[in-house]
Chain A
Amino acid sequence: MIAKKQGINSTSHAVYPLRVVRLNFFILYYEHMFIYTYGKEGVNYMHNRIIFHIDVNSAYLSWEAVYRLQQGQTVDLREIPSVIGGNEENRHGIVLTKSIPAKKYSIKTGETLFSARNKCPELVVVPPRYTLYMQCSSAMVEILKEYSPTIQRYSIDEVFLDYTNMECHFGEAVEAAHKIKDRIRKELGFTVNIGIGNNKLLAKMASEFEKPNKVHTLYREEIAKKMWGLPVEELFFVGSSTAKKLKSKGIMTIGELANTDPSYLQQWLKSHGLLIWQYANGLDDSVIKNNGVPMKGLGNSNTIAFDVTDSITAHQILLALSETVGTRIRNANKCAYVLSISIKNDHLISYSHQRKLDVPIASTNSIYENAKRLFNEVWKGEPIRHLGIYLSSLCLNDFYQISLFETKEKEHKKLDEAIDKIRVKYGCHAVIRSSFVNSDLSPLMGGVLTEEEYPMMSSLL
């Protein structure tokens, strides 16, 4: 019996050492790269960092609810089944945010308002108000700025704050987080979750734990206890398709992912495999970027209120999108080498087409001409529901290769400059193309706010 037991133990030992050696090797390699990147003092700082992740609970909905209460309404949207939803007539009718009572009817973010109403007939649907959201988000950032000079606005409702070495000013991290949370609730009227960790990933994971109006910690030593038991899809960067793949191999929890051989994951899922293994082990050395994430590309798209069946209307829409994309890229002082377009048809099937250009572009006309060419090459003639234009491979617009064959480049540049200035001064519809005069289409399409940049969430930490 004893011999049998030992036998079992010896076989399991024979399997594990190699895995442990590999794990240790990866952690050592990671730490070595860490020292190489940040130097010894930097490593000390990076190891002892305290990062807060502030996440607004049901952001759009609670902002709308607070605003309505301030304007004298007696019903609190947060206490009844309610959702923020797009305009159904323009086919933007999906749930953007839901209240906690709406969650009880298993209404999910992203589902159609039609199916949400089927689940809960007395559901209150409120249209989105992006200017209000920007105002709420900015007011929250103003409060957070009082607690640390290093803040990153990760999206409209999420902020990272570096609390390292701030204990002498505002007390222990947990105490300070409670202070911040209570102050936001008292002054601005909405609730937030604050996650505290040694890096941005741990802080973000911590803020997801239990909602609303809570402070959670997830320090390095708490990873096994608090994070490893969670299902693998709860991990940042593990989407539904990755979770499916992992589950097919029997990796159900974050802990199981963390204890999987990283070289195996790398072979199987390439660099993404190694990244999620690092995240499962709580390894992340990304810094808090005060100036936001450097822009790698930009684009705009639009779900059209009707199905487009002719190329003339589709070209019009591409022109309207080019106007928005063009203004944004010129505002950022950039030019783009790569242009791509995306099409979603009436069966909700999407496809895209892109091209690397010989010379970088930024003018509305050249964006439109190239987009039109790509569209004509790829469109199969079926009804179109959604069109988008994206620019990438950006370069600065002060020195760049000009085209030998483009004769009116200077004129186009001047024209765009003048139009941009007029739109800033007199509103974005002050100058429009004559082709839109008797058309039902909007002369500028894409984006949620025309008057200011709206911070969309980045996929990078």
Chain B
Amino acid sequence: MKVLMKPIEVIAWFTKEGIPNPIKYRVREEEKDNIIKIGRVVTRTEEKLAGNRMLIYRCQTILHDHIKVYELKYEVNTCRWFLFKI
């Protein structure tokens, strides 16, 4: 996987405990918006590098009959989502 760290727009649902779960995201590529539905969140981990809390979601989606694995990042401090690795 390659590190991209591209800001993305996300639709997510939050548990009562306040944990966000992404449903789908929109990413702009070559002047075109792509909407990708998240098939399954495989793992969710937390990192606190430099004291900055981030949630990392390893997700998978079936695209053209292939399972595509990628990682999303949610920065708690700024409420921003990133396409971290693909």
> A-side interface residues toward B, CB under 8 Å?
63, 66-67, 69-74, 132, 135-140, 187-190
Tell me if B3 counts as interface (CB < 8 A to partner A): yes
A72 contacts B82, CB within 8 Å? yes
Q: CA–CA, A159 to B49, complex, Å?
A: 19
Given contacts A72-B82, A72-B84, contact A139 B3 (CB under 8 A): no
Which A residues are in CB contact (< 8 Å) with B5? 71-73
B84 contacts A188, CB within 8 Å? no
Closest to A136 in B: B51
Given contacts A72-B3, A72-B4, contact A67 B82 (CB under 8 A): no
Tell me if B48 counts as interface (CB < 8 A to partner A): yes
Tell me if B52 counts as interface (CB < 8 A to partner A): yes
- Count: A-B pairs, CB below 8 Å: 43
Given contacts A72-B3, A74-B3, contact A140 B51 (CB under 8 A): yes
Tell me if B72 counts as interface (CB < 8 A to partner A): no
Could you tell me the distance in whole angstroms from the C-beta of A66 to the nearest C-beta in chain B?
A: 4
Given contacts A72-B3, A72-B5, A72-B82, contact A187 B52 (CB under 8 A): no
| Ranked 8 nearest A-B pairs via Cβ | A72-B5, A139-B51, A189-B49, A67-B50, A135-B51, A66-B50, A70-B49, A136-B51
Among B1-50, those with CB < 8 Å from A are: 3-5, 47-50
Q: CA–CA, A189 to B53, complex, Å?
A: 12
Q: CA–CA, A136 to B53, complex, Å?
A: 11
B50 contacts A63, CB within 8 Å? yes
Which A residues are in CB contact (< 8 Å) with B54? 70
Could you tell me the distance in whole angstroms from the C-beta of B58 to the nearest C-beta in chain A?
A: 16
Which B residues are in CB contact (< 8 Å) with A132? 50, 52
Residue B50 contacts which of A73, A74, A188 (CB distance < 8 angstroms)?
A188
Residue B49 contacts which of A67, A137, A138, A140 (CB distance < 8 angstroms)?
A67
Q: CA–CA, A136 to B51, complex, Å?
A: 5
Q: List 25 A-B contacts (CB under 8 A).
A: A63-B50, A66-B49, A67-B52, A70-B47, A70-B50, A70-B54, A71-B5, A72-B4, A72-B5, A72-B82, A72-B84, A73-B5, A74-B3, A132-B52, A135-B50, A135-B52, A136-B50, A136-B51, A139-B48, A140-B51, A188-B49, A188-B50, A188-B51, A189-B50, A190-B50
Interface-centre pick from A67, A70, A188, A189 (highest chain B CB count, 10 A)? A70
Could you tell me the distance in whole angstroms from the C-beta of A190 to the nearest C-beta in chain B?
A: 7
Which A residues are in CB contact (< 8 Å) with B84? 72
Which B residues are in CB contact (< 8 Å) with A187? 47-49
Which B residues are in CB contact (< 8 Å) with A188? 48-51
Which B residues are in CB contact (< 8 Å) with A138? 51
Which A residues are in CB contact (< 8 Å) with B51? 135-140, 188
Q: CA–CA, A140 to B51, complex, Å?
A: 8
Closest to B85 in A: A72
Closest to A67 in B: B50
Q: CA–CA, A416 to B36, complex, Å?
A: 55
Closest to B53 in A: A139
Which B residues are in CB contact (< 8 Å) with A137? 51
Other CB < 8 Å A-B pairs besides A63-B50, A135-B51, A188-B50, 10 of them? Answer: A67-B52, A72-B3, A72-B4, A72-B84, A74-B3, A135-B50, A139-B50, A140-B51, A187-B49, A189-B50
Q: CA–CA, A139 to B49, complex, Å?
A: 9
Q: CA–CA, A136 to B3, complex, Å?
A: 23
Could you tell me the distance in whole angstroms from the C-beta of A67 to the nearest C-beta in chain B?
A: 4
Q: B48-86 vs A: 1/0 string, CB under 8 Å?
A: 111110100000000000000000000000000010100
Q: CA–CA, A189 to B49, complex, Å?
A: 5
Q: CA–CA, A67 to B53, complex, Å?
A: 11
Closest to B3 in A: A72
Closest to A73 in B: B5
Which B residues are in CB contact (< 8 Å) with A73? 5
Q: CA–CA, A4 to B49, complex, Å?
A: 69
Could you tell me the distance in whole angstroms from the C-beta of A293 to the nearest C-beta in chain B?
A: 24
Which B residues are in CB contact (< 8 Å) with A66? 49-50
Which A residues are in CB contact (< 8 Å) with B48? 139, 187-188
Q: CA–CA, A209 to B50, complex, Å?
A: 25
Could you tell me the distance in whole angstroms from the C-beta of B57 to the nearest C-beta in chain A?
A: 15
Could you tell me the distance in whole angstroms from the C-beta of A189 to the nearest C-beta in chain B?
A: 4
Q: CA–CA, A188 to B54, complex, Å?
A: 12
Which A residues are in CB contact (< 8 Å) with B47? 70, 187
Closest to B47 in A: A70
Could you tell me the distance in whole angstroms from the C-beta of A401 to the nearest C-beta in chain B?
A: 45
Q: CA–CA, A189 to B48, complex, Å?
A: 8
Could you tell me the distance in whole angstroms from the C-beta of B52 to the nearest C-beta in chain A?
A: 6
